[in-house]
Amino acid sequence: MKRLSEMLMESLEEESFEGYIIIITNDDSYGKLTLLNEGVWRHSGEKDYWLRKERENELWHVHIAHERHKRTKIKQVAWREDGKRKDKKTFDTNFNGIETAKRITRDVLGLDADFILESVTGVGEESLLLEDIQSIGNILDVYVLSFYK
């Protein structure tokens, strides 16, 4: 492996050389560096799933899309780090692979594997929105649903 100084000197001799941006950082600066990738589509590690992580009003959110739909907002899903859906009017309620998208979102946002992300289930022309699930002891789970047309 070449040393940085050797690589730089060789590059300076090339006619096509345009320049480098070099960032030297420590562990305390890592959070600031994640902003460099903010808003950029990148592969999720799952076949045909792409993600874009952004920050809005102090909350991170993640958009998930299949490669062919990265530019089609109505074919994407997105959740905020608090579990709420982002872009509710364009959220694709028929997204193919929704559970994989949820798992990717939880991983990217550092959420627990059982963290509840809002989802919508169609009921005829109306829909139910799962807002929350809470356990009361080992006996009862309480599901909080919103109903809307």
How many domains, in total, are found in the chain? 2
Regarding whether 55 and 23 lie in a shared domain, the answer is yes
**47 plus 81 within the same structural domain:** yes
115 burial (CB, 10 Å; 0-12 / 13-18 / 19+) is middle
> Quick one: what percent of the chain has pLDDT higher than 90?
27
Same domain, 143 and 74: no
Q: Are 124 and 109 part of one and the same domain? A: no
Examine the domain organization and report whether 10 and 64 are in the same domain. Answer: yes
Span 122-144, average pLDDT: 55
pLDDT above 70 (res 50): yes
Mean of the pLDDT values across residues 26-37?
52
pLDDT digits (tens, 9 = 90+) for 52-63: 998 888 889 999
pTM of the model: 0.61
For 120-129, the pLDDT digits (tens) are 655 455 555 5
Q: Which strands make up the sheet holding 59-65, listed edge to edge?
A: 42-43, 50-56, 59-65, 77-80
Say if residue 53 is in the same domain as residue 42.
yes
pLDDT confidence of residue 142: 57
Q: Are residues 88 and 144 in the same domain?
A: no
The C-alpha atoms of residue 20 and residue 36 are separated, in whole angstroms, by: 15
Domain hosting 69: range is 4-117
Based on the fold, state whether residues 142 and 88 are members of the same structural domain.
no
What's the whole-number mean pLDDT along residues 88-101? 87
Separation CA 74–CA 89 (nearest Å): 8
In this prediction, residue 105 carries a pLDDT of 94
- Assess whether 109 and 137 both reside in one domain: no
